[in-house]
Amino acid sequence: MACVVCGGVNSSVWGRLGGFEILRCRSCGVGRTSPAPSAAQLVQANLATYSAERRAEIYRSRQRDFDDRYSEVLARIRRFRPSGSLLDVGCNIGMFMKAARERGYLVTGVELNHGCAAYGRDKFGLDILPVPLERAGFAAGTFDVATMFDVLEHVPDPRALLTAARLALKPGGLLVVQSPNLGSFMAWLMRENWRWLTPLDHLYHFTPGAISRLLKDSGFEVARLRTWEPAADFAGNIYSGFPARSFFGRVLRRGLWLAARVLVPLLQRSWWSIGRGGLVEVYALKRGG
């Protein structure tokens, strides 16, 4: 199977988990889940993982974290596009849309999970369409900004999604993409226990270089790229991935988690700066008309 990013056909096994292999392209470094889950498996995984009630509870339990995160992202977006229309692709229950609307953007979302889309419409009065972006029917050049937070890794054809996003954007429009980073320190450290691997749910596993190449080939110019991850997620990944089959193991795991909670916030910016953060976040501008 040709690589979705570079077209290469040579890959190696990066890891194995839950009956799946993560195959990594020898040319560009992107990973893909093999065998690819069926359409039915993808729907089942989405409904099990992303129910509206579960997502709402996660947001409520970490509201301050999400509020801070959205404020930071919107501050960066405003440097490129201080106002205008914003499309959130894979918007879930619409919490980011709600934050963007409060800051003056005219927001629209698309979300394949019908329960999550309905929750956002009913609870927050948001304009969320329960269809793929490719079938949403937006006129060309409708939006000033499009966002895809933790979406690109889920779709069978990332190129088609980026093409649809480019068409929906105005000339010079801004696309913001975030995806887990297979080249991260967390992925290297935890391997198959990396919490963001989730092979049934994630079809592709990007790196900063691979996602930049995919965006450039899809008609975008990368304006800013950074890697990062919440310190609590890094520490929690260590905690959950360390074996605890005995009392000593449980004590050691707890000690590692406490050490990580203290040390990670002090050290993580050093690996973020060299592209090793657990998440890749890219701001890219549409080229041409």
- Residue 112 has phi, psi (to 5 degrees) of -70, -30
DSSP 138: P
pLDDT of amino acid 33: 95
* Helix or strand (DSSP H, E) at 8: none
pLDDT of amino acid 162: 98
Mean of the per-residue pLDDT values of the chain: 92
Nearest to 141 by CA among 106, 171, 181, 96: 171
Tens of pLDDT along 224-255?
A: 999 999 988 888 887 777 666 666 666 766 77
Tens of pLDDT along 84-114?
A: 999 999 999 999 999 999 999 999 999 999 9
31-34 and 204-205: which strand pairing? Answer: antiparallel
Tens of pLDDT along 153-210?
A: 999 999 999 999 999 999 999 999 999 999 999 999 999 999 999 988 899 999 999 9
Q: Is 191 exposed, middle or buried (0-12, 13-18, 19+ CB in 10 A)?
A: middle
Nearest to 3 by CA among 32, 33, 39, 36: 32
Tens of pLDDT along 124-149?
A: 999 999 999 999 999 999 999 999 99
Give the residue-averaged pLDDT of 12-22.
94
